[in-house]
Amino acid sequence: MPAITTSACLSATITAALSLGSAAALAKGPPQLPPGHSKNIGISVLSSAPDQVSGGDARIAIEAPPGQRKKLSLTLNGEPVDLGRVEGGQRRIESVIEGLERGDNELNLSHERFGQVQTLTLTNHPITGPIFSGPQQSPFICMTPHEFGIEPQVDSEDPPGFKVYNDAGDTVIGYSTNCSIEPFITYSYRTTDGEWRDWPEDGERPDDLAQTETIDGNTVDFVVRVERGTINRFIYSYAMLVDPDRIGDDEDGPDTSRWNQRLVYQFQGGVAIGHTQGEWAQRLAMNEDVLGLGHAIAYSTGNSTDVHYNLQLGGETALMTKERFIERYGVPDYTLGLGGSGGAIQQYVYGQNHPDLLDAAIPQRSYPDMVTQTIHVGDCELLEHYMDATDRNNPFWQVTDNRSLLVGLNATNFLGNPFYDVQRALGFAAAPGMTECVPAWRGLSPLVLNPNFGSVPEMQRWAPQSDIADIEWTHMDDLRNIYGVGDDGYARRAVDNVGVQYGLKAFRNGEIGAEQFLKVNAKVGGWKPSDEAVQEGFPFIGDPTPANFDPWSRRNMMLSDSNEPAPRHEGNLEAIRSLYETGMIFHGDIEIPILDIRDYMEPILDMHNAHQSFATRQRIRNEMGTAEHQKIWFSGIGPRPYPGSQFNMTLRALKVMDEWMGNILRNPKQSIAKNRPEAAVDTCFGYQGDIIAAGKNVWSGILDDGGEGACTREFPVYTTSRIEAGGPITGDVFKCQLKPVSEALNDGTYGSHSFTPEQVERLQAIHPEGVCDYDRPSAGRPASL
């Protein structure tokens, strides 16, 4: 069993006070501070914004010249508290104050001669949240019994809630909606075989204890202290190296002697739609590459997109988790974001929305955000179904490479189509290989769009079970505070394909003819609204019978069996506007150093497609005019066609970023780009970490019309269905603004190609409202963005 201690209080409540002066003096009005002193004396909150304090405590700082410190006093809601003075010549006095009341609290700093210097209002919120994310999701399933064998605290005697059992596990003693537990501490060590083991309870030094060399060049025992608990209903943890001789000794506060004062906030990826506390991921929360350098790690299941994708809630959780870290361990020199996929998305979105959360970011296998991925991912099965079913007799689509003309994503015969035989047997067409849509994105459309398709572990412990049956299992409902709710009672949608001309680039380039271009756009269809959706079939639910075989989710598509064009799905303008206004869309406003790193996985059709790093770069350029503070690294292909990185690119990035941040801390008035170290440039690496090319123009040809750069040639970048339909690489147009077909016929939309009068008539019937005008911004995007 791991060694466990109860988490100590963050700081003792303070009771001493200094005189505020006589009533007679105050009656005359407070004297003014001597010239220059008022701006040299002040109070600030270090652990959070003053209006976003949580848990009843906060770390504060008082700035004052040494000669003035003893003349200051502090009150909280009229009660005196200690300043937490330090001796010596330091200007800043730090202290953790406790006992904040729910809501507004008044913190007053006064001078014994000159009276009140500053008043600061601290708004305190419960540690269970929320602060700004709105009404909390329910049902909400607690996972601490599953993860740690710890029952959550009872916060309700009656349902609804998660059933809480007694120690024997045979009697329900109450219910929990907040899933709270008391913080607890464990100690682990890294073995010489590269494993984590619990520190021995007798304190004896293990024979297989490994050592690590920190980023500062110190060699120390690889022993780690881990604090775990709950914040904002999610499971959090903090981990850092400790001196094994001080294990369990927290009387004077936690041991930070081997922490190098750098904090890594570890984000986690995945795709899920909420209703659970989530599972604690040791491999990330105790990332050995990070801890071995001497960095501390902050982690929360609320920052795992494998738990939920509400990045307003996730940003709030990250702020609260970092707040407690600062209260407990102190202010880090810098905070670095780390994480892949959804963990990379969070770094971009939180870097934009909460500028004080991260000082630097290392997104891995990144996307700009999640919500704009739904735009083209929702096209995948519509187009695959068209090629497999609607146009099944056309041999053109049975050539694997041709499918990229519609979906944009990579296609290859290297990976055989697992549905090939059954599709053929059931009368559908199939290519021998696949596009990325099949192995990477199949199942994502029902997960995001189908209110009937979803579940989370431990649902049986919620009471009443009728609440579980009523859950709308969609990404939109997970963010219903943002998307809003429509007249049908379901969360509104932003996805839209009205006016989209699938395969437009292929038609312009002469790769498909006019009749094929018109047919795909007439028959591709759209997704049914939520209130018409039905449960999925095979391969998601049930057996592969002829009636149940439905890998495309065609039962939830709007199709047409007649000569009439199939309906398209339409996004809600208010939902789109809200996504922008709440920052769920990354529009490119981020002012921190970024190393965007990616192991190239296009050959195996992995969902982390390579163009996303450049979509993000273009958004940053569009917003800020430059993206010199975002550098892109790809790591290489080994023996072709197998992808992946065989060297530790993350560890290399951590060391380069530490150098970059060191430059910024030493030269804060110099720009981020000018503080870049020599290695912080666009780079592509080979299979074993050798540099193929580095520096300016290695990625040319992707975001410009120049020739292919050295890295562009080595690592081909593909597109999406919306780019193939004429949209921008940024991929952020939910609902295009429309122009009449008559205008498109005359403005070069179709290149040098022309249509017969009958074809023009069909084109107008397919797009009665007009076709996409991608020279204009997304409909619903606020003019201020």
Residues facing residue 209 across a β-bridge: 191
The DSSP symbol for 440 reads I
Higher pLDDT, 89 or 26: 89
**Contact, 31 vs 113, CB < 8 A?**
yes
Q: How do the domains of the chain map onto residue ranges?
A: 6-125, 162-332, 373-456+469-571+736-772, 590-724
Instruction: Note the pLDDT of residue 90.
Output: 62
Instruction: Note the pLDDT of residue 250.
Output: 77
Please check the confidence at residue 4 and state whether its pLDDT lies above 50: no
Average pLDDT (609-617) is 98
Instruction: Note the pLDDT of residue 640.
Output: 65
Half-sphere exposure of residue 711, counting CA atoms within 13 Å on the CB side?
A: 29
Please check the confidence at residue 69 and state whether its pLDDT lies above 60: yes
Please check the confidence at residue 32 and state whether its pLDDT lies above 50: no
* d(C-alpha 91, C-alpha 617), whole Å: 41
pLDDT tens sequence across 128-165: 999 999 999 999 999 999 999 999 999 999 999 999 99
Please check the confidence at residue 13 and state whether its pLDDT lies above 50: no
Residue that is written with structure tokens 């795709």 in the block? 271
**Residue 110, phi then psi, degrees to nearest 5:** -130, 155
Distances (CA, A) of 475 to 38, 307, 341, 445, 480: 51, 12, 17, 10, 9
Instruction: Note the pLDDT of residue 113.
Output: 86
**Residue 534, phi then psi, degrees to nearest 5:** -120, 170
DSSP annotation string for 612-653:
HHHHHHHHHHHHHS--TTEEEEEE---STT----SS-HHHHH
pLDDT tens sequence across 211-220: 999 999 999 9
Please check the confidence at residue 21 and state whether its pLDDT lies above 80: no
pLDDT tens sequence across 740-758: 999 999 999 999 999 999 9
Ramachandran region, residue 584 (left: φ > 0; alpha: ψ -120 to 50; beta: rest): alpha
Residue that is written with structure tokens 């009523």 in the block? 470
Instruction: Note the pLDDT of residue 31.
Output: 43
Confidence band, pLDDT 50/70/90 cuts, at residue 444: very high
Residues facing residue 176 across a β-bridge: 162
Lowest-pLDDT choice from 18-27, 521-530, 649-658? 18-27
Please check the confidence at residue 253 and state whether its pLDDT lies above 60: yes
CATH architecture of 6-125: Sandwich (2.60)
Please check the confidence at residue 516 and state whether its pLDDT lies above 50: yes
Q: Buried b vs exposed e over 666-682: b needs ≥16 C-beta within 10 Å?
A: eeeeeebeebbbebbbb
Using CB atoms within 10 Å of the CB of residue 622, give its burial: 0 to 12 exposed, 13 to 18 middle, 19+ buried: middle
Lowest-pLDDT choice from 252-261, 310-319, 389-398, 612-621? 252-261
Pairing of strands 53-54, 115-125: parallel
Confidence band, pLDDT 50/70/90 cuts, at residue 239: very high
* d(C-alpha 276, C-alpha 723), whole Å: 36
Instruction: Note the pLDDT of residue 263.
Output: 98
Overall size of the chain counted in residues: 785
Please check the confidence at residue 34 and state whether its pLDDT lies above 90: no
Instruction: Note the pLDDT of residue 18.
Output: 25
Average pLDDT (89-99) is 82
User: How many CB atoms are closer than 10 A to CB 281?
Assistant: 18
Confidence band, pLDDT 50/70/90 cuts, at residue 504: very high
Greatest C-alpha distance within the chain: 98
Residue 348, H or E segment = helix 342-353
Q: Of the candidates 583, 127, 55, which has an alpha carbon nearest to the alpha carbon of residue 355?
A: 583
Confidence band, pLDDT 50/70/90 cuts, at residue 451: very high
Please check the confidence at residue 288 and state whether its pLDDT lies above 80: yes
What contacts 423, CB < 8 A, 6 or more positions away?
388, 417, 429, 430
Residue that is written with structure tokens 């304090």 in the block? 53
Instruction: Note the pLDDT of residue 84.
Output: 67
pLDDT tens sequence across 311-356: 999 999 999 999 999 999 999 999 999 999 999 999 999 999 999 9
Instruction: Note the pLDDT of residue 5.
Output: 33
Please check the confidence at residue 26 and state whether its pLDDT lies above 80: no
Please check the confidence at residue 193 and state whether its pLDDT lies above 60: yes
Instruction: Note the pLDDT of residue 66.
Output: 79
Please check the confidence at residue 28 and state whether its pLDDT lies above 90: no
Q: Of the candidates 633, 656, 595, 583, which has an alpha carbon nearest to the alpha carbon of residue 338?
A: 595
- According to the per-residue pLDDT averaged within each range, which of 70-74, 112-116, 400-404 is highest? 400-404
Average pLDDT (383-411) is 98
Confidence band, pLDDT 50/70/90 cuts, at residue 20: very low
Distances (CA, A) of 333 to 91, 286, 551, 692, 714: 17, 20, 50, 33, 38
| pTM for the whole structure | 0.94
Task: Find how far residue 343's CA is from the centre of its chain.
Answer: 5
CA distance between the termini of the chain? 54
Please check the confidence at residue 30 and state whether its pLDDT lies above 70: no
Confidence band, pLDDT 50/70/90 cuts, at residue 478: very high
Average pLDDT (774-783) is 95
Average pLDDT (641-670) is 92
Confidence band, pLDDT 50/70/90 cuts, at residue 6: very low
* d(C-alpha 674, C-alpha 376), whole Å: 37
Please check the confidence at residue 544 and state whether its pLDDT lies above 60: yes
User: How many CB atoms are closer than 10 A to CB 229?
Assistant: 19
pLDDT tens sequence across 38-67: 558 899 999 999 999 999 999 999 988 878
DSSP annotation string for 512-557:
S-HHHHHHHHHH--EEPPGGG-----BTTSS---TTTB-TT-GGGE
Instruction: Note the pLDDT of residue 93.
Output: 86
Q: What percent of the chain has pLDDT over 70?
A: 94
Average pLDDT (603-632) is 97
Higher pLDDT, 528 or 4: 528
Average pLDDT (608-620) is 98
The mean pLDDT value of the chain amounts to: 93
Instruction: Note the pLDDT of residue 40.
Output: 80
Distances (CA, A) of 658 to 43, 257, 361: 30, 19, 11
Higher pLDDT, 87 or 642: 642
